Amino acid sequence: MKILVTGARGFVGKNLVAELNNRGYKDIYKFDKDTDKSLLDEYTKDCEFVFHLAGVNRPKDEKEFMEGNFGFTSELLDLLKKHNNGAPILITSSIQAERDNPYGKSKRAGEELLFNYSKETGAKVLVYRLPNLFGKWSRPNYNSVVATYCYNIARGLDIQINDPETELTLCYIDDVLDEFIRALEGKETRDGKYCLVPVTHKIKLGDLAERIKSFKESRKDLSIPNMNDELTKKLYSTYLSFLPENEFSYDLNMHCDDRGSFTEFIRTPDRGQVSINISKPGITKGNHWHHTKNEKFLVVSGKGIIRFRKIDSDEIIEYKVSGEKLQVVDIPTGYTHSIENVGDTDLVTIMWANEAFNPEKPDSYYLEV
């Protein structure tokens, strides 16, 4: 299928083209404000579906609203009519079309052009009044408060919150893409004469700012955002896309001594914590037991022996572990346990505990195996 995408280098267009390629659509005509206008005449001859994403939302002069959102749409439709091309056309409008401001008026005028075009030609039109969009490749300080907050917070810059109680309706770019692919396949989601993206999220402006700030702090407290919450998961992915390119990495606090090191990697309130333990050759660590805390050990490099003894028994149980064969060893409660490096290189063990360490209630009791 030959697909025309106007505004192909914009936020939605860039994501859409990438997703179309991912799904095997290769004949994509990409048009944007820097493309030679003569190519639009060529593209409208044989395209079989049109994603009309081009528009103006931050002009230097208000008259550019109508020129970009009405005028260019009119040009596009005239070319389709010129070539007698009845391909379905999808246009991205805005919830602002309901408002009586220059931007809203221009978007509403573009919508009416499409509805009249459909009546005149019989072509299928799909008009999406989109709410506030967010996701990777969006532009900060342009038309997305999420992008602006992510960009500024990631760089330690101030953000502006006019009214923290203002409620936003947000829509994630991947949910937009899923709906657009459904539309391409003739399975669009409709609400009367308009189409819609069925998945949206509501959040207050102040809460949005605090949530994004928590993502920055998570590097310090080693927390992981609540990925069970769909909006949080999507916001976190968006935030990471705005990290400065020289700040993808961050240091961890390594507790080092002559035995090796112990470094906490991740901690969560409901899924425990993950740490990295390095033991030098000949070193034994552990020799303690827990009432309730339980752990999983995974040796990823080196050779070792994990030993267990039930605290009221003399029987010692041994498990040989090696980075050559990845095995998870559960550390049950009520067993004192240790891990010994029996190789000639560092023993590297990933350790998961079911709860984050609490110094006021460590639940660790010294007892040699």
Residues 221 and 155 in one domain: yes
Question: Sheet holding 328-331: strands in order across?
Answer: 254-257, 260-268, 272-279, 347-353, 295-301, 328-331
d(CA 133, CA 8): 16
Q: List Cα–Cα distances, 255 to 188, 280, 294, in angstroms.
A: 55, 14, 22
Task: Average the pLDDT over 270-276 and give the result.
Answer: 95
Q: Of 210, 228, 249, which residue is a domain's last?
A: 249
Residue 56 pLDDT level (bands cut at 50, 70, 90): very low
* 192 within some domain: no
Query: Residue 191 domain-assigned?
Result: no
Q: What's the distance, CA 295 to chain centroid?
A: 30
245 and 258 fall within a common domain:
no
Could you tell me if 47 and 65 lie in one domain? yes
Q: Structural domain tally of the chain?
A: 3
Same domain? 331 vs 285 = yes
CATH code of residue 72: 3.40.50.720
Task: Give domain status of residue 190, yes or no.
Answer: no
**In which domain, by residue range, is 166 found?**
135-171+201-249
Mark whether 34 and 82 lie in a shared domain.
yes
The pTM of the full predicted model, rounded to 2 decimals, is: 0.91
The answer to the question of residue 92 being in a domain is: yes
Band of the pLDDT at 67, cuts 50, 70, 90? low
- Specify whether 91 is located in the same domain as 147: no
164, 76: one domain: no
User: How would residue 54 be classed by pLDDT, with cut points 50, 70 and 90?
Assistant: confident
In the prediction, which pLDDT does 61 show? 47
Look at residue 143 and tell me if it is in a domain.
Answer: yes
The predicted-structure confidence for 141-177, as pLDDT tens digits, reads as follows 987 899 999 999 999 999 999 999 999 999 999 999 9
355 & 323 share domain: yes
Residues 159 and 273 in one domain: no
Q: At what angle do helices 145-154 and 230-241 cross, to 10 degrees?
A: 60
Q: Are residues 259 and 242 in the same domain?
A: no
pLDDT value for 97:
65
Annotation marks residue 194 as catalytic: no
212 and 152 within one domain: yes
Cα distance between residue 203 and residue 166, in whole Å: 8
Strand partners, 133: 171
Q: Please determine, for residue 69, whether its predicted confidence score (pLDDT) is greater than 80.
A: no
Residue among 203, 204, 199, 213 nearest 171 (CA)? 199
Domain containing 331 — which CATH number? 2.60.120.10
**Range of lowest pLDDT (67-76, 137-146, 274-283):** 67-76
* Phi, psi angle pair for 211, to nearest 5°: -65, -40
327-364 pLDDT, tens digit per residue, is 999 999 999 999 999 999 999 999 999 999 999 999 99
Q: Check whether 99 has a pLDDT greater than 70.
A: no
* Residue closest to 295 by CA, chosen among 286, 305, 284, 282: 286
Point out the catalytic residue in the list 43, 103, 151, 335: 103
Q: Does residue 166 sit in the same domain as residue 47? A: no
- pLDDT given at position 66: 47
Three-state DSSP class for residue 89: strand
Contact call for residues 280 and 189 (beta carbons, < 8 A): no
- Asked if residue 186 is part of any domain, the answer here is no
